[in-house]
A and B are shown apart, each in its own frame.
Chain A
Amino acid sequence: MSATMETTTPLLTVDGLVKRFTGRGGKTVHAVEDVSFTIKRGTTVGLVGESGSGKTTAGRTLLRLIEPTGGKAVFDGTDIFALSDKDMRAFRQRMQIIFQDPFSSLNPRMRVEAIIGEALDACGYPKGQQRKDRVAELLTLVGLQPEHGRRFPHEFSGGQRQRIGIARALAVEPEFVVADEPVSALDVSVQAQVLNLLSDLQKRLGLTLLFIAHDLSVVEYLCDEVVVMYLGRVMERGPSRLVYAAPRHPYTKALLATAPIPDPTRRREHVPLKGDIPSPINPPSGCVFRTRCPHAIDACAQTIPPVEDLGGDHHVACIRHLELAQAS
């Protein structure tokens, strides 16, 4: 979405989202802890971070595909976390998800028209010719042909299956779509096709998107804003252009510096981020990133860094961000 377009009303405001699982042996898994951000109507927000940082959990909790432990999610004026299952049903139609794996997310025994038809059932779409027309329309919308409705998922390539997943998500005319790594499983040459499709559909249908990814270059290209997560928490968030041009959190800087550059004359001299992401069962005290942070000091272990507003909607959670910005 262009920066010039006036789209400032938030469609979704996430406030203090918490999701904890009870893992093996009754231990608590802190998958998402105190995550807040907003998504403006008609824009795309990218959710990035290493695997295990809580992206999928956050995305699914927002649609109540899994129940939140705490926090609020105000969708178009209503806190959907406070709704009964029955009242939630009306909202389900307005919020949809596209899954990462186009191979396992479609029922292999159903024809494509039945897969999309099932989504239409959920919103009580009438059967008969009208439905046939709608399925054909959706297939055309995602760049497939109406005849493809008669086929089974295995008769399609990965990119085509992801298009079917997109058609299914769009069948009920949602306002908000969570796309969980929708191109990660696809070949490079096909990734661009699907990204172009998403970008184009968003413009045409005015969709609001939460785009989960681990590839930062894809997010920079596609997203108006970016939320960087690490071990369940937000490290930094803000307009993509600001965050990419001037990252303020040591984790964001490290992530940006690790993406492989397709240029052999600019090989990295050193590895920006050592070690592994710690276990969410027993996250580090204070700043969760401190065990891998090149700038950690004793104080980082003491308190959880507050999320500070740097202006221009750019936020960072690091107690040393001012010092580090001055030093560089």
Chain B
Amino acid sequence: MRQGESVLQRRISLGEMLDTDSFTEVVKGFVELYRVGIKVFDEKGAKLADIKIGNGDFCGYVFSFPEGRRRCTATVGRVKDGPLALSHGARLPVLEPDLVPQAKGMLTVPCFTGLRYLVVPILWEGDTMGRVVFGPFMPDDLKDFPPRTLTEISEGFDVTNARPLVDKVRLAPEGTIARVMVHFGQLLQTMLFGGQKMFLTSQLHIEATLDSNRELEERNKKLEEANNHLKELDRLKSAFLATVSHELRTPLTSIIGYSEMLAEGLAGPLNGEQVDYVRTIMEKGETLLKLISSILDISQIEAGKVRLNFEPMDALELINGSLSSLRPQVQKKGVALEAKMPAKMPLVTGDRDRLRQVIVNLLTNAVKFTPRGGRVAVTLTEIQQQPDLNALGYRILVEDSGVGIPADQFDKIFNSFYQVDSSSTREYGGAGLGLAIVKSFVEGHGGVVRVASEIGHGSRFTLVLPVAPSSLQQVLITPPVTSVGPADDRF
């Protein structure tokens, strides 16, 4: 719901329509050209312009007498605040006939000194917005100066003093001043129109900008709420998976354990066919156990429940240990496995078991996606400055000569449950969790994982790991990229 009343909904004042500085300049120019003072007031009597000319010395002299001051104040009050009507000493101006329609509302207010003011209302869209006061000027129809009303203000009033002062005041027919005033009125209308337009559009521009922002913010808030809701659902899903996989794992270990005992003949001898069946149960059971373990890992990562256990460890031992657990698979598949490592290396800090799992996952992929006769290699580099980390670190490379990965899938393969070709599941097995786990664990160490590959020629996964993870990364690890998130086409 939008708030606040627009500037279009209220009456705007003269002061808002006129830029005071430039308006004063225009009035000044006008006053100098016609040699008549101009005052402009808004409807509340606030002064918007006041330029005097010629009458200062004379009026000052009159003002120096107490009675002069009193009458002068009364006259000024009449022109400024008095009614815009033919009352309180105001009369219709003497006009040439052609000017009558344009001088609508104009009043003549005589001053007791014999000088005169003209007052005209500022009309805008049918409203009276204020008034313009012209004068004082010396009307050419004034027969005898000084009038009695002036000479009687004090004993000391001296006509010979006053005469040269009053000569500085513009002498003109009332009709001439009225004509000047009509011109000024037209100029004022133009200025008001331009000023109103400027004022309204600049205000509206601000209002529209604010309102657009408000709308954007509201939308963002809704998006954020939706996003939080999704995150919560995601967390619930992970918690559910963790529980379920844990519940599955326990009985499954028993199934595998009992089949193993059967196959070993611990419950009596089995014939060849029976042994085959029991071994199949064992193998499938192990595959299932691995899968459940992966699901358990990823769901714990996603639920933010994994704590890495950092301690000093030997990277050489890490690689060797991973290799030996891969050997049986390698032999069965018939691929060559090589390792390149420094002869010696200082201890590094890390979570030994998790890093081992990382390398095993990568090696398993390499073996899995490389056909018989292919080649898989692991390389461990020396410790050196790593620009990727901006810290000292080491790299582990896992390369293969297998099927390769399309470049547009490099990011996606790290998403949980993602496989390049889901139909390959039948051929290669797996759930698409290995790399998601790799990425989470490596990033939990403050490291990075990258992939490079060429279809048909093989893939290379590079791990860059710091010698010691910074303390900030010590505890909880960040959940990996998941398939749930803001849509790609949000912008």
* Binding between chains A and B: no
B positions within 8 Å CB-CB of A: none
